[in-house]
Amino acid sequence: MGQVVYTKDHEWLSRKDDVVTIGVTEFAQQQLGDVVFVELPEVGSTLLIGDEAAVIESVKAAGEISVPLGGVVLSVNESLIDEPELLNSAPETEGWIFKLTPTIAVDLSDFMDAGQYQQYTQDGE
């Protein structure tokens, strides 16, 4: 993986060349609880910043993933269709959610790095 950054909504973004992979953090999966279903975005769809890209359903409730940067959905993690629990067991690796080709060049330094994110979760939201 390339550079990894974090959002205030507990998503992680990892960039390699022109592609950004997006998922939720270990902190987020702990808050969500047992994931039973993930609604994935459509491959090829264009998302604007803040659009609802995915929905994560736990036993208790549904949580929305809004996209932290605009782009075109390049691929989705189809393993999550049959194994939504990957989001609990490996949220920052095998449990990635989708890959995006950003519409415009993005500066990932606008987001938090690992140290800043750790501080952020410790301070509470």
Partner 1 sequence: MSENHDIKTTQLYDQHLQAGAKMVPFAGYLMPVQYPTGIMQEHLHTREQVGLFDVSHMGQFIVQGAGAALALEELMPVDLEALAINQQTYATFTDASGGISDDLIVTRWAEDTFFLIVNAACKAQDFQRLQVHLADSADISLSELDLHSLVALQGPHAKDIMAELSSDAASLVFMHGCSASIDGIDCYITRSGYTGEDGFEISVANQHADRLADILLAYDACQWIGLGARDSLRLEAGLCLYGHDMDLNTTPVEAGLSWSISKSRRNNGAKQGGFLGDDTILLQLSEGVSRKRVGFLVDGKAPVREGSEIIDDQGSVIGMITSGGFGPTLQAPLAMGYVPIEYSKEGTALTALVRNKPRSIIVAKMPLVPQRYHRG
Closest CA to 26 of 5, 14, 12: 12
Nearer to partner 1 among residue 36 and residue 114 (C-beta): 36
For residues 59 and 35, what is the distance between their CA atoms, to the nearest angstrom?
Answer: 7
Q: CB of residue 82 vs partner 1: minimum separation in angstroms?
A: 9
Token pair, residue 16, equals 């390699």
Q: CB of residue 84 vs partner 1: minimum separation in angstroms?
A: 7
Work out the angle at residue 96's Cα, subtended by the Cα atoms of residues 53 and 90, and round it to the nearest 5 degrees.
135
Radius of gyration (Cα) for the chain, nearest Å?
Answer: 13
Q: CB of residue 18 vs partner 1: minimum separation in angstroms?
A: 30
Q: CB of residue 42 vs partner 1: minimum separation in angstroms?
A: 11
Instruction: Decide: 15 and 82 in contact? Cβ < 8 Å.
Output: no
Nearer to partner 1 among residue 30 and residue 116 (C-beta): 30
Instruction: Decide: 74 and 101 in contact? Cβ < 8 Å.
Output: yes
Nearer to partner 1 among residue 81 and residue 114 (C-beta): 81
Name the residues that contact partner 1, by CB under 8 A.
33-34, 36-37, 39, 55, 57-60, 62, 81, 84
Nearer to partner 1 among residue 48 and residue 114 (C-beta): 48
